[in-house]
Chain A
């Protein structure tokens, strides 16, 4: 177990390290002079001032020195300032990150509640019309674009029924974006749950449990579900990070004030410090979630715990 954990943590650190290299080099990969592009909106910037800015950003240094400079700033919590508006990048990211986390978490809860239930029922009733109907619904859910579904739900629940507000930032405003993201991901979880549970329900230990005369509920929920959850837990971690990325479209549709929407705007505006900060933050989040999932995996599967 210790070796397993140490291995996972080492891999996480290496991944983040690799991302910092890519992020630091981002400004050199894009075409054109990045400093000129950054100050395209300024009438009064002279060539001398552009050189001074270039020097301040360390862009006149060798690439390896630029990377060290970048890392020393990052490790001190200095993510730089936005080109537009000169606002501290870390502050902006931290202010909006919780909103994206709320949205992703709420969506995941909805996706799990619906997906696990439907997948479980489909597996239990496999081969019946219930199984077929549920899986067809799941395929439709995966195929529907977030943008379209979001607008549909908005016009139904906000405009036609008047049950929910348009825009805003309270609990009521979270429901529609969370349901939009959650529904499409519920479909993925449902299909995975079905596959996993069918596999488990065919195992010998389940047949033994039934033969011993255990109540059906005990067989299903104490024995089958726990074993079936192991691959699903792994997938949920990936789903969470997928939801964080998918939140970008949904945040735009509903005006939900998360980091995804901010990242899109930063890309359009070529605000490199903000783009770099977002990529780094997102990478750290994904790596952290993956690490947590790996730990959960070890807790659920004794074969890992005692290795």
Chain B
């Protein structure tokens, strides 16, 4: 009997088993560590969901690579002198995925739906004080506000204001589950929950504002968005060619960068701000000296160098680069520089030091080397007179825990490494305007300034107010900025994949992709 050579058996096996997973031609496969919550941009908030919405929907405006506003579905816009009316003029000839024309009526439908009293958008507060939306004609829509709102126009470029076509109303509560109707470069084909989303190229697509070369439909026929929680498995998929673009595990970045078979991509402007915040209503962090001692006691530059090796940038402002108001030179004046002697002196004023260390709890959420960063902080803070312990948990638990710590009246001092992202300094309003996102620090003067950042529309008048807010937060060490980006900012692709790009605020772009 002839014996088949092992290579032939290997080929047969690979064809039989691997072939069952054969990829369709002209499809690009993007693997991430989690799935979306919904295709409805008004029913979810996760970054994983937002990135998929960006493939299916357009917004009225768009951000260029530097984070500046440019036209998209709206070709231009006007703000009335009193800031109470914003009018958008729409592009002509835009089609929804179901073939219907995209008009001002769709914009009104989207806005009314977001502002609905009974079932509002989860980000309704960011729409601001909109009192009425008027479809003036097919290509003109006017938003009427009860008071000026400086963050409104930039919000019209965000994924949360993705324009949903009016035909979505026919699907009721099922919309976002099995149906998504937008105007974006990709149309929803199928969703196997927990496993993969398949998007098909939109042949009617016209690009008005995305920072890509291709002005029409994507080159590839399909975009498959796969869920693979384990980072090493995603890396294996990239190596075998099963996957084309992945979110790599942090520990594999050096290997990927060194390998000519792969390309490594990072987003420069994400709007993500990683910062320390404190349970500031009780001892010790109700005293600014304790907060400042923490900020003076840590060499953040060294920490970032050791833990991230150049993958992130030191951020000195409470809003990150690319966001209106960010100015490293301005923020340097008011934050706390590394000065362990000053940290010790401040702690001594509070009656603590190396002989009587002050117990505190450092918290953050899992992933992206954050726990390693806390270990570094723990080491440095213990040298200036703190006795820090570390707790790392999932983000949901952390958010709940921070609020709980802010409600406690006793216990060790609590601080946490947190991350928020936004494209506008309105993020500071969401975080710190009483009662605040976590019901923590509040200050009447800060509240007044934050109110003004919302009601001041003119950027030239708004900037000094935003700077005053940042000055307060930095001097009082309420919000101690450390670095940016903080999560989901790195991508790896196979070298054969050309045209993969990353837009501002962490927006993956597949319009130009071809092999």
Contact = CB atoms under 8 A, between A and B. Distances in A.
A175 B126 CA distance: 48
A270 B398 CA distance: 11
B58 to A, nearest CB: 22
A161 B12 CA distance: 13
Contacts of B233: 151, 154, 166-167, 253-255
Contacts of B395: 268
Contacts of B242: 165-168
B121 to A, nearest CB: 7
Contact of A255 (B44, B229, B404): B229
B25 interface: no
B236 interface: yes
A44 B121 contact: yes
Nearest to B238: A166
A233 to B, nearest CB: 32
A270 B18 contact: no
Contact of B44 (A84, A253, A268): A84
Nearest to B9: A163
Nearest to B45: A41
Given A255-B226, A255-B233, A261-B229, A167 B31 contact: yes
Contact of B34 (A31, A165, A265): A265
A257 B240 contact: no
Nearest to A44: B124
A87 B44 CA distance: 12
Counting contact residues on chain A (CB < 8 A from B), the size range is 35 or more
Contacts of B125: 43-44
Contacts of A165: 17-18, 20-21, 240, 242
A40 B17 contact: no
Contact of B10 (A40, A86, A163): A163
Contacts of B64: none
Given A167-B242, A168-B242, A257 B192 contact: yes
A252 B230 contact: yes
B21 A173 contact: yes
B176 interface: yes
Interface string A6-40: 00000000000000000000000001100011001
B232 interface: yes
Nearest to B31: A167
A210 interface: no
B239 interface: yes
Contact of A167 (B44, B173, B243, B394): B243
A165 B122 CA distance: 39
B404 A261 contact: no
Given A42-B122, A85-B176, A163 B18 contact: yes
A159 interface: yes
A8 B120 CA distance: 50
A86 B177 CA distance: 9
Nearest to A83: B37
Given A85-B38, A161-B10, A255-B229, A268 B21 contact: no
Contacts of B43: 85-86
A270 B396 contact: yes
A162 B232 CA distance: 16
A205 interface: no
Contact of A268 (B177, B239, B243, B394): B394
A119 B283 CA distance: 64
A68 B397 CA distance: 29
B394 A155 contact: no
Nearest to A32: B400
Given A85-B38, A255-B229, A261-B229, A163 B13 contact: yes
A45 to B, nearest CB: 8
A285 interface: no
B199 interface: no
B35 to A, nearest CB: 8
A223 interface: no
B179 to A, nearest CB: 13
Contacts of A42: 45, 122
A42 to B, nearest CB: 4
Contact of A159 (B239, B243, B394): B239
Interface in B20-38: 20-21, 31, 34, 36-38
Contacts of A170: 20-21
B85 to A, nearest CB: 23
B395 to A, nearest CB: 8
A12 B43 CA distance: 40
Contact of A43 (B18, B229, B403, B430): B430
Contact of B21 (A36, A96, A168, A252): A168
B399 A255 contact: no
Interface of B: 10, 13-14, 16-18, 20-21, 31, 34, 36-38, 43-46, 120-126, 173, 176-177, 192-195, 226-230, 232-233, 236-237, 239-240, 242-243, 394-397, 399-400, 403-404, 430
Question: Shortest 10 CB-CB distances between A and B: which pairs?
Answer: A44-B124, A172-B17, A85-B37, A166-B237, A255-B228, A43-B125, A165-B21, A257-B195, A85-B38, A268-B394
22 contacts: A32-B400, A32-B404, A41-B122, A42-B122, A43-B123, A85-B38, A85-B176, A86-B177, A96-B194, A159-B240, A162-B240, A163-B17, A165-B17, A165-B21, A167-B243, A169-B195, A171-B17, A172-B16, A172-B17, A172-B20, A255-B233, A265-B34
Interface of A: 31-32, 36-37, 40-44, 84-87, 92, 95-96, 151, 154-155, 158-159, 161-173, 175, 252-255, 257, 261-262, 265, 268-270
